[in-house]
Amino acid sequence: MTATGAQVIASFIESLGVEHVFGVGGANIEDLFLAVQQRRPRLTAILAKHEHAAGTAADAYARLRRSIGVVMVTSGGGALNLTAALGEAMASRVSVLAIVGEPPTALQGRGAFQDTSGVNGVVDVRVAFGALSVWCERVRRADDLPVTLAAAARAAWQRQGPAVLLVAKDVQQATTAESAITAGVPDASTRHERDAAGIDSALELLRTGASVIIAGDEVARADARAELTAFAQALGAPVAVTPDARDAFDNGDSSFVGVAGAMGHEEAATALAESPVWVLVGTRLPLLARTGHESLLAGKALLALSSDAPFVSGATTLHVDGSLRQNLRALTAGLDPAVVTRRSRRPPDGPARFEVTNGPLTSAAALGLVQRVIPDDAVVLIDAGNTGAQAVHHLTAPRDGRWLVAMGMAGMGYTFGAAVGAACATGRRCFVFAGDGAFYMHGLDIHTAVQHHLPITYVIFNNRAHGMCLVRERLLLGAVAGYNEFGPASIGRGLHAMFPALPAADCGTGEQLSEALQHLSGVGGPAVVCVELDEVETPPFVTFRIAAAAAQGEPR
């Protein structure tokens, strides 16, 4: 039996257990799109409106499926448009397989359209992608595809990052022997074995004083939430989460103390200050997860259970590598309740309650109203900027759902493509929280959700500005230059006019928002709610609070 190179690639993708691939078409990738579509319904190509959205869709798909996400793009601008999404996947350690088409080999370096081969002085995307991936290679012959594809998938999975395969059009079209493909991706929990030696040292460290747990996004991605809960109960420790990991631990649990870091909560800060031992579970404690707590680190013992060593050190630092689930189970089994230091704690405050009024909306009030309609199994996706800071601080994660915040690059507009991947990966209702600035960047991938009738609710906060940047102008520069402000726009009505089948509303009061949410609760496909804010608010961000206090002459 023979097959084209494109058919070999499509067969390999299917063998990974992937059901959806994302991309934008073009002359140098159309053969692969055709091969994928020939495998419907087992394998479906989802056409995005921009390669950035296709890449973030693959990223979210990988995070939620605990698998490999696949994105396919053409050469030239199509390939270059993918770089930001791969940068996020690289920084956040997400396993993505990117397949990039290139012009026919015979035309490379000879004026071919969208040539990215690096031949004869043209742009070489292998250099660009090499810096944004854990693996990047060109395939020269169709016969090499089975071995090269396996190497790419292995690198993406084991090294936890994007792998890029550059395939010329003639290689996609060439006929080769059809090889048996038996790839498959193992469960995330089996990526590494338990660190037996590290566990013994960790148990000794945990006996030295009262502990606090800071849980990161690796917990949910490794399906280790049950193991974390059992460990926290055995340790008797309060649990804080990083901004991108509210789904790591039940937000209603009596041990939960909220979010740590820049967008965090006072109860989390208090628990960190009082605890001599910090246990990092599934996080390297990046800057936004530790802002406001740095002065405490010098006197703390740090135990890190994570794939990579933490970004910071304490008075004592111990890093335990290996399978997060297995390590947590081993620690739980090894803890002796008689020698664990515990503290009595008050139950945490419940979610804020907001009255439905006819007055102007604030971000916090709007988030409180939306919180009421989020199902327990929903996927919540938070974009960057003012809206992101407000949502991280005020929203709670669905009890049985997921929470995605792209903290690696924190690129505005991530959620619009990512929600498409999340909906395809889970089939669950997805809630996007984004600002108008993020919408203007990548929001028209809402059309993809309309096209495929995906269950996505978009909550867009319209303050007519790049809000975070405007706040920085006010507080840090002492001026408002004006370039971060926008003219007025009716985003909801505009989207409904573009896509008549899309339910959308602009809401300026609590009554309007409550009514819109009730009306949209029965919608099966996508829907849009635009929250109209009267002003650009200062978000709950620790550096802004410090700057505001300094400007008013108050103590820090």
Q: Are strands 175-177 and 2-4 parallel, antiparallel or unpaired?
A: antiparallel
Which neighbouring-strand residues pair with 304? 280, 319
The two tokens of residue 152 are: 């790419």
Q: What is the structure's pLDDT at 190?
A: 47
**Sheet harboring 316-320: ordered strands across?**
256-259, 239-241, 211-215, 277-281, 301-305, 316-320
CB 442 within 8 A of CB 286: no
Give the closest residue to 416 by CA, choosing from 145, 1, 26, 55: 55
CB 102 within 8 A of CB 167: yes
Q: What is the structure's pLDDT at 480?
A: 74
Look up tokens 């043209």; give the residue.
122
CB 376 within 8 A of CB 398: yes
The two tokens of residue 252 are: 């209603």
Give the CB-side neighbour count of residue 337, counting CA atoms within 13 A. Answer: 6
Q: What is the structure's pLDDT at 525?
A: 97
DSSP state of 346: P
DSSP string of 484-507, one letter each residue:
TB-----HHHHHHHH-TTS-EEEE
Which neighbouring-strand residues pair with 465? 485
Which neighbouring-strand residues pair with 302? 278, 317
Helix (H) or strand (E) holding 176: strand 175-177
DSSP string of 204-240, one letter each residue:
HHHTTS-EEEEE-THHHHTT-HHHHHHHHHHHT--EE
Secondary structure of 382-422 in HEC code, one letter for each residue: ECCCHHHHHHHHHCCCCCCCEEEECCCCCCCCHHHHHHHHH
Look up tokens 């309740």; give the residue.
337
CB 516 within 8 A of CB 366: no
From CA 449, how far away is CA 455, in angstroms rounded?
8
Which domains, and CATH codes, for the chain? 2-184 (3.40.50.970), 191-339 (3.40.50.1220), 363-546 (3.40.50.970)
Encode the chain (556 residues) as per-residue pLDDT tens digits.
Answer: 899 999 999 999 999 999 999 999 999 999 999 999 999 999 999 999 999 999 999 999 999 999 999 999 999 999 999 999 999 999 999 999 999 999 999 999 999 999 999 999 999 999 999 999 999 999 999 999 999 999 999 999 999 999 999 999 999 999 998 766 656 665 544 455 667 788 999 999 999 999 999 999 999 999 999 999 999 999 999 999 999 999 999 999 999 999 999 999 999 999 999 999 999 999 999 999 999 999 999 899 999 999 999 999 999 999 999 999 999 999 999 998 765 665 545 444 444 444 556 678 999 999 999 999 999 999 999 999 999 999 999 999 999 999 999 999 989 999 999 999 999 999 999 999 999 999 999 999 999 999 999 999 999 999 999 999 999 888 877 777 788 999 999 999 999 999 999 999 999 999 999 999 999 988 999 999 999 999 999 999 888 877 776 666 655 4
42 φ, ψ (degrees, to nearest 5): -65, -30
From CA 252, how far away is CA 534, in angstroms rounded?
32
From CA 178, how far away is CA 7, in angstroms rounded?
9
C-alpha radius of gyration, the chain, whole number: 24
From CA 21, how far away is CA 152, in angstroms rounded?
16
The two tokens of residue 11 are: 């067969």
From CA 125, how far away is CA 78, in angstroms rounded?
11
**Sheet harboring 402-405: ordered strands across?**
402-405, 379-382, 430-435, 456-462, 527-532, 504-507
CB 100 within 8 A of CB 75: yes
- Cα-based distances in Å from 175 to 4, 15, 142, 168, 295: 4, 20, 7, 14, 63
From CA 4, how far away is CA 170, in angstroms rounded?
10
What sign does the CA torsion over 316, 320, 324, 329 have? negative
Q: Which residues contact 265 (CB under 8 A, 6 or more apart)?
A: 257, 258, 259, 393
The two tokens of residue 405 are: 């915040």
Q: What is the structure's pLDDT at 181?
A: 62
From CA 22, how far away is CA 20, in angstroms rounded?
7
Q: What is the structure's pLDDT at 396?
A: 97
Chain-centre distance for alpha carbon 489:
28
Q: Cα–Cα–Cα angle for 371, 377, 379, nearest 5°?
A: 70
Which neighbouring-strand residues pair with 382? 405, 433
Q: What is the structure's pLDDT at 482?
A: 81
